[in-house]
Chains A and B, each alone.
Chain A
C-alpha cells in the first residue's frame, strides 16, 4: 500500500508534469495538449514510484523501459524526465525550436531518457514487444511499459503486436491504454468506436483491468499487481479525461492539438498552482 506521503508526492509530480507541459507548449504557442495532460498521472506514477531508472545513467542496462506509442505525448514525458533530473527543466522551453532535443514526437536519438522513437501510430506497440522479448532473450528482468492511445488502437498494427505479445506470454510487458475518449477529429465514439478495451485485450491472452486514470493510487496498485502476474502480459485501461487539469481544454471537443495564447497559458498555470497548493496542504 502507498503511504499518504507517497500519494501526495505522486500527485504533486503529476501537477508539476502538467505545469511544465503547459509552459513548454504555451511558450511555443501550440501543441498536443489534450493527450499530454490525460497521461500525466500515469507518468507521475511510473517515474515517481515504479520505474527502475537512473537519471544520471539514462542507458543503464538494468533500467525499466517506457515506450509511448502515442508519440505525441512526448512533451509530457520530457517534463517528467526533466523533473526527475535527466536534464534541466529550462531546456523544456526549447520544444520544437530549430535544433531542439525536444520534438513533438518521442525520438530516442534526440532526447536523453527516451527509449524508443514513435510518432507513426501503432509502431511503438511492436517495438515495445520486441524490447520485452529482447529482455527475455537476454535473461534480464527489466520491465517494459507501453502507452497506447485509445484512438491509436484503430491502427491494425496495435493488434498485431498485442496478439503476438499474448501468444508469447510476455509478462515483462505492461501496457496502458490512455482511454481519453477523443481523437484528433473529435469524440472517438462518433468516429470509430473503440469498444471495450478490457474485453479486447483479454481475448488476446492479456490480463486487463480498468482503473481511474486520474487516480495515482489506483494506477500504482494496478501496476504493482501487474508486475507480480506471471505468464501473460498486462494492460491497465485508464479511464482518463483528455485535457485533464486545464479548464480551457479539459473534456472539450477537438483538444488534441490546440493553439495556446499567453493568457491561456498564464490562466492554466494559475489554476494548476491552486491545485498544487491544495495538494500540498492536504
Chain B
C-alpha cells in the first residue's frame, strides 16, 4: 500500500536518475545474490561503473546485441536469477520486440527491461534514438507491467518492488536529473495512480517529464479560475481504471499528457477506459504521430508541444466540450 508524501517544491533533483538506478541496484544485489544486471554496451551512459566495479560477476554486458540480451536475460531468469536488462528505449522495445514478447512474455519468465532516454530526452541522439513508441508497442504484450518512474524517490521504490515480483516489466527511465515530485520515503502501489492535486473542473493525467508540466498547467489554470486535478499515472499497464472513471465522474473532462506518441500509450489507454465506461471529453497532449528529431530538450518540447501551455489549451478545450 502506498504512503505518498508530495514534495512542497518541485525542483530539479541533485541526484541523477541513473545514479539512483545504480545505487539501488547495488543495494538489491548486495541483499539478494539472485539480482544480476545486463546491458548492451551502454553501461557507461547509464552510470553503472560502480556496479561493475563491485559486482563484475553479477554484470553481463553482452555488447551490442539487444535481441540476444533479452534472450540471455530470459535464460538467466529460468535458472532462478532476477535480471535487470538496460539499453536505450528504442533498442529496449522496437529492436527486440519479438524477443520480449516470446522469450520473456509468452514464456512466462522473469525479466525487468529498462529503457532509458524516453521521448524527447534522447535530445542530441536525435530521431533514430527517440522513442515515442516504446510503451505503445510493449503495451500489446499480455501480462507486461509498464512503469515510468517520475523521480528518484519513485524509481528506488519501484526497482525494489519489481525485484521482489515475478514477470515481465518495462521500466521507462529518464537517465538524467528529474524534477522532484515526491518526498523521500514515499512508497507507491503499482497499478494505482497518484493524485498530486485535487480539482473539480478537469483532470490532467500525466506521466514522466509531463508531470511537472501538468502541475504548472494546473497553476496557470487556477490563475484563470479553473480548478484542475493532477494525476501521476506512473503505471501505464495495468492502467488504473477505477481512478480514471472516478476523475471522469467528478471533473467531467480529461486531458492526458505524455512524452510519447498519443497513439497506444497513456492517451489511448485512458481513451479506452473512458469510451467503455464514462465517455467524457478527452484531449491528448503528446507527440502527434511524428518521428523524433535532433536538438536540445527545450527546443523539442516546443516542437512536439509537450508544454504546460499546451496542456492549458487542451484543458480549456476539454472543459468547453462538456455538455
- With contacts defined as CB atoms under 8 Å apart, how many contacts are there between chain A and chain B in the complex? 99
Q: Are A125 and B103 in contact (CB under 8 A)?
A: no
Residue in B closest to A69 when the chains form the complex, CB atoms: B71
Task: Decide yes or no whether B150 CB sits under 8 A from chain A.
Answer: no
Task: Decide yes or no whether B44 CB sits under 8 A from chain A.
Answer: no
- Report chain B residues within 8 Å CB of A127: 71-72, 74-75, 78, 103, 107
Q: Are B79 and A157 in contact (CB under 8 A)?
A: no
Q: Are B65 and A123 in contact (CB under 8 A)?
A: no
Report the minimum CB–CB distance from B75 to chain A (whole Å): 2
Q: Classify the interface of chain A: helix, strand, loop or mixed.
A: helix
Residue in B closest to A108 when the chains form the complex, CB atoms: B107
Residue in A closest to B101 when the chains form the complex, CB atoms: A120
Report the minimum CB–CB distance from B292 to chain A (whole Å): 25
- Report chain B residues within 8 Å CB of A138: 79-81
Q: Are A126 and B107 in contact (CB under 8 A)?
A: no
Q: How far is the CA of A161 from the CA of B74 in the complex (A)?
A: 13
Number of interface residues of B (CB under 8 A): 29
Task: Decide yes or no whether B108 CB sits under 8 A from chain A.
Answer: yes
Task: Decide yes or no whether A130 CB sits under 8 A from chain B.
Answer: yes
- Known contacts: A126-B68, A161-B71. The answer to whether A131 contacts B79 by CB under 8 A is yes
Residue in A closest to B104 when the chains form the complex, CB atoms: A127
Q: Are A129 and B72 in contact (CB under 8 A)?
A: yes
Report the minimum CB–CB distance from B103 to chain A (whole Å): 5
- Known contacts: A123-B102, A137-B57. The answer to whether A161 contacts B68 by CB under 8 A is yes
Q: Are A134 and B79 in contact (CB under 8 A)?
A: yes
Residue in A closest to B105 when the chains form the complex, CB atoms: A117
- Known contacts: A116-B107, A119-B102, A164-B63. The answer to whether A125 contacts B78 by CB under 8 A is no
Residue in A closest to B71 when the chains form the complex, CB atoms: A126
Q: Are B80 and A134 in contact (CB under 8 A)?
A: yes
Q: Are A128 and B75 in contact (CB under 8 A)?
A: yes
Q: List which A85-142 residues lie within 8 A (CB) of chain B.
A: 108-109, 115-117, 119-120, 122-123, 125-135, 137-138, 140
Task: Decide yes or no whether A160 CB sits under 8 A from chain B.
Answer: yes
Report the minimum CB–CB distance from A162 to chain B (whole Å): 9
- Report chain B residues within 8 Å CB of A120: 98, 102
Residue in B closest to A130 when the chains form the complex, CB atoms: B75
- Report chain B residues within 8 Å CB of A131: 75-76, 78-79
Report the minimum CB–CB distance from B117 to chain A (whole Å): 23
Q: How far is the CA of A117 from the CA of B108 in the complex (A)?
A: 9
Q: Are B81 and A134 in contact (CB under 8 A)?
A: yes
Residue in A closest to B75 when the chains form the complex, CB atoms: A130
Q: How far is the CA of A129 from the CA of B71 in the complex (A)?
A: 8
- Report chain A residues within 8 Å CB of B211: none
Report the minimum CB–CB distance from B49 to chain A (whole Å): 21
Report the minimum CB–CB distance from A121 to chain B (whole Å): 10
Task: Decide yes or no whether B28 CB sits under 8 A from chain A.
Answer: no
Q: List which A148-201 residues lie within 8 A (CB) of chain B.
A: 156-157, 160-161, 163-164, 167
Residue in A closest to B99 when the chains form the complex, CB atoms: A123
- Report chain B residues within 8 Å CB of A157: 67-68, 71, 99
Q: How far is the CA of A209 from the CA of B72 in the complex (A)?
A: 25
Interface centre among B36, B58, B79, B107 (most CB of A within 10 A): B79
Interface centre among A109, A119, A138, A160 (most CB of B within 10 A): A160
- Report chain B residues within 8 Å CB of A130: 71-79
Report the minimum CB–CB distance from B113 to chain A (whole Å): 14
Q: How far is the CA of A141 from the CA of B58 in the complex (A)?
A: 18
- Report chain A residues within 8 Å CB of B77: 130, 134
Report the minimum CB–CB distance from A130 to chain B (whole Å): 2
Contact with A along B62-93 (1 / 0, CB 8 A): 11010111111111111111000000000000
Question: Can you list 22 A-B pairs, Cβ within 8 angstroms, ordered by A?
Answer: A109-B108, A116-B78, A125-B71, A126-B72, A126-B99, A127-B78, A127-B103, A130-B72, A130-B76, A130-B78, A131-B76, A131-B79, A133-B75, A134-B78, A137-B57, A137-B81, A138-B79, A138-B80, A157-B68, A160-B68, A161-B72, A164-B65
Enumerate chain B interface residues (CB-CB to A < 8 A). 36, 57-58, 60, 62-63, 65, 67-81, 98-99, 102-103, 106-108
Q: Which 6 A-B pairs have the closest CB atoms?
A: A130-B75, A126-B71, A134-B79, A160-B68, A130-B72, A117-B107
New contact pairs (7) apart from A119-B102, A131-B79, A134-B79, CB-CB < 8 Å: A108-B107, A120-B102, A129-B68, A130-B71, A130-B78, A133-B72, A140-B79
